[in-house]
Amino acid sequence: MRLRAWWADAAGGLPATYWYLWTGLLINRVGGFAVLFLSLYLTAQRGASPAVAGLVVGAYGIGGVGGTLLGGVLTDRWGRRSTLLAAHFATAAFLVALAVSTDLRLVAGFGLLLGVAQTMSGPAFVAAIIDVVPAERRSRAFNLQFWAFNLGMAGASLLAGLLAEWSYLGLFLLDAASTVLTGVLIAWKVPETLSRRPAEVVPDRGRGMRTVLADRVFLVFVGLTLLQALLYAQTNTIVPLAMAQDGLGPSDYGLVTALGGTMIVVGQLFVPRLIDRHRKARVLAVALAVMALGFSTLATADRLGFYLAAAAVWTIGSMLAAPPNAEINSELAPVELRGRYQAVFFLTFPAASFLAPALGGVSLQTFGSAHWLIVAAVGVLGAGLHLAAGPARERRVSELRSVSAGGGGRRPSP
C-alpha cells in the first residue's frame, strides 16, 4: 500500500496521453544506442580515420542544431503529433541508411540528416506535454520525463556494449526498430494536442522566431540555463581529463558517471516533494549553488573517492534543477509559439557541449586545479542571477495566464 501511495503521489494523476508520450520516450531512449557508438562504428566497420569519424559525428551535431529549430517551427505549424511522427519515421529510415552505406560521403550525409530528424521531436514532445498536463502538475510531469530519459539512457548504455560486440548492423537496426515502435505508439494513442481557437491568429511566416528572440525575459532564462548546462557539461568533457591528470583511468571515470546515473534513477522521483512548496527561482538558485559546491571540491581532489563525493553533490544539484527548468520554459511560452520557444531553449545544450570543452580545456591547461574554482564561481553567479531574474519571470507568467484566461488579448510586452 505504501508503495502504491508513493507512486500515486509521484505520478500526480497525469493524463493518459502524457503516459503514452512518456512510454514512447522510454522505449526510444532504451533503444537509442546507435549514436553512442557512431565514432567506433565508423573506425571499426567503415575504415574511417579518427579525424574523418570526428567530422561525421560533427555533422550529426550540426544537423541537431538545424533539426531543433526546424522541429520548433513545424511543431507550431503542422502540430505536435505530425512533427513527432515525421521525426520518428525519418529517424528510423536514416538509421537504416547509415547502417548499410559504405561510402563515407554517404555516411556523412546520412549522419547530418539523422541529426536533423532525431532532434526534431524534442520541441514537439515537450510542447505536447505542456498542452495536455495542467499547470499545477507539470513539475511532476517533467520530473518523470527526466527520470525516464535517464533510465532509458542507462539501459541503452548497458545494452550498447553487448550489441556492438555482436553486430554494429544489428545495433543500428534495433535502434531503428525501437524508433518505429515509438512512432507506431504515437500514431495509435497520441492525438493532436495543438488546438487553435477559431479567432486565434497564427503568427505570419518568419515572424514567430523573431518574437522569441525579442523576448528579453525568456532569453535571460535561456542564458541562465546555458550557464547551468556549461556546468553539467564539465562532467563528460573536462572531468575525465582532470581524472587522467590525477592518474585515474577510464574505469574510474565510468564509476563516477555510473554513480550520477544511479542517483537520478533512484532518487529523482522524490524530488517533487522537496521543491513543490518553494518558488522556482529559489530552487534553481539552490540547485546551481549545490552544483558549484560539488565542482569546487575538485580543486583539491586527487583520488577516486573525492571525485565520487563531488559527483554525488553536483548530481543532487542537477536533479533539483530539472523540473523547475522545464516548468519555467513551459510557462513563458505563448500557446501559439510553444514549439519555437522549446527549440530555442533546447539549443542551450548543443551550445554547452561545444563551449564546455572548447573553453574548459584551455582553462584547465592554463589554471590547473583552479579551473574548478572558476566553474564554481560561474555556478554561484548563476544562482544569484536566478534570484534577481525570478520576479520578472513570475510577472510574465502571471500576464500570460491572464491573457490565456481571457481568451486572447494583447500579448505581454517583451
Nearest to 157 by CA among 252, 40, 37: 37
Q: How many CB atoms lie within 10 A of CB 325?
A: 24
* Range in 47-56, 109-118, 227-236, 374-383 the model is least confident about: 47-56
- Confidence band, pLDDT 50/70/90 cuts, at residue 137: confident
pLDDT of residue 225: 95
The answer to whether the beta carbons of residues 72 and 343 sit under 8 Å apart is yes
- Confidence band, pLDDT 50/70/90 cuts, at residue 406: low
Nearest to 235 by CA among 256, 264, 262, 263: 256
SS3 per residue for 169-228: HHHHHHHHHHHHHHHHHHHHHCCCCCCCCCCCCCCCCCHHHHHHHCCHHHHHHHHHHHHH
Whether 294 shows a pLDDT value over 70: the answer reads yes
The answer to whether the beta carbons of residues 52 and 42 sit under 8 Å apart is yes
List Cβ neighbours of 362 (8 Å cut-off, separation of 6 or more): none
All domains of the chain in start order, with CATH: 14-193 (1.20.1250.20), 207-406 (1.20.1250.20)
In the three-class reduction of DSSP (H, G, I as helix; E, B as strand; rest coil), residue 161 is classed as helix
The answer to whether the beta carbons of residues 167 and 42 sit under 8 Å apart is no
* Radius of gyration of the chain measured on its C-alpha atoms: 21
Sign of CA dihedral 260, 262, 268, 271: negative
* Range in 300-309, 383-392, 397-406 the model is least confident about: 397-406
Whether 116 shows a pLDDT value over 50: the answer reads yes
- Secondary structure element (H or E) that encloses residue 392, with its range: helix 371-405
List Cβ neighbours of 104 (8 Å cut-off, separation of 6 or more): 42, 46, 48, 52, 56
pLDDT digits (tens, 9 = 90+) for 325-381: 989 988 898 888 889 999 999 888 888 877 887 788 888 888 999 999 999 999 999
pLDDT of residue 201: 45
* Range in 13-27, 86-100, 165-179, 332-346 the model is least confident about: 165-179
Whether 40 shows a pLDDT value over 90: the answer reads no
Q: Across the chain, what does the average pLDDT equal?
A: 84
pLDDT digits (tens, 9 = 90+) for 202-258: 444 445 788 899 999 999 999 999 999 999 888 877 888 888 888 888 778 878 877
Q: What is the DSSP string of 127-147?
A: HHHHHHS-GGGHHHHHHHHHH
Nearest to 94 by CA among 67, 128, 126, 123: 67
pLDDT of residue 158: 65
The answer to whether the beta carbons of residues 250 and 161 sit under 8 Å apart is no
Q: Which comes out higher in pLDDT, residue 381 or 3?
A: 381
pLDDT digits (tens, 9 = 90+) for 149-162: 888 877 776 676 66
Q: What is the DSSP string of 255-293?
A: HHHHHHHHHHHHHGGGHHHHHTTS-HHHHHHHHHHHHHH
